[in-house]
Amino acid sequence: MACQICENKSGFYPLCKDCFKLRDDGKITKCQDCGIWKKDNKPLCYECWLKKNKSEQKKSTNYKFTEIEEEEGSFRTKFEATFRTEDGHMVRSKAEQIIDNWLYHKGIVHGYERRVPIEEEVYCDFFIPLGQKVWIEFWGLEEEKYLKRKELKRRFYEQNKKNLIELTDKDIENLDDVMPRKLRPYLPPTFSFD
């Protein structure tokens, strides 16, 4: 496994030996909300700070939800997370369960339904904090409203220069071939899929 901070090999630990020393000195801490390791002593990571800041704004009576925020809210209400993965995540579809289990078995640290660190409140299907951070979206539906949401989300990733990997049902059938090819450019050069 690669260290979540410096990307050096760390065995089965989230941090390497050097980063553990920095942690002991208080220069590396875990976010109090999401638990991701970060290089500072602030209580929240940037993403959780954004989320908290946005939720404070929403308490204001004059806050207007963006189109994508309204779509995200209705989608998350409509499709409940009922599938349990091998690492304990609750996901919304069998395909997401397969993706999550694949990431888990390959030793790739990942989060499910993490907030994308942009001004709008947008959630990705999967987030990988290793190497060049990457967001994964599984597009599983073909209904008109879902396709509109898909295009809105794509536009946000592009406008905010976020690394996006898109997966479809066809990709799920060949995940062992597709995922290493799509992930390789973003992971540390020392990472091995073995």
Instruction: Assign 85 a pLDDT band (cuts: 50, 70, 90).
Output: very high
The total number of structural domains in the chain stands at: 2
Look at residue 47 in the predicted model and tell me its pLDDT: 77
pLDDT band at 40; cut points 50, 70, 90: confident
- Backbone CA torsion sign across 144, 169, 179, 106: positive
CB neighbour class for 167 (10 Å; exposed up to 12, middle 13-18, buried from 19) = buried
- Residues 54 and 83 placed together within one structural domain of the fold: no
Domain end, chosen from 32, 59, 86, is at 59
- Round to the nearest angstrom and report the end-to-end CA distance of the chain: 11
Mean pLDDT highest for which of 17-26, 29-38, 50-59?
Answer: 17-26
Q: 33 and 85 in one domain?
A: no
* Res. 67 pLDDT band, cuts 50 70 90: low
Pair (52, 88) in one structural domain: no
Averaged confidence pLDDT in the chain: 83
Q: Give the CATH number for residue 130.
A: 3.40.960.10
Output the DSSP codes for the chain: -B-TTT--B-TTSSS-HHHHHHHHTTSSEE-TTT--EESSS-SS-HHHHHHHHHHHHHTSTT----HHHHHHHHHHHHS---EEPTTS-EESSHHHHHHHHHHHHTT---EESPBPSSSS--B-SEEE-SSS-EEEEE----SHHHHHHHHHHHHHHHHTT-EEEEE-HHHHHTHHHHHHHHHTTTS-TT----
Q: Clarify whether residues 100 and 177 are in a common domain.
A: yes
User: Tens digit of pLDDT for each residue in 115-131?
Assistant: 888 777 788 999 998 88
Per-residue pLDDT averaged across 149-159, rounded? 88
Cα–Cα distance, 146 to 139 (Å, whole number): 9
In sequence order, the β-bridge partners of residue 30 are 37
The whole-model pTM stands at 0.64
Distance between CA atoms of residues 64 and 90, nearest Å: 30
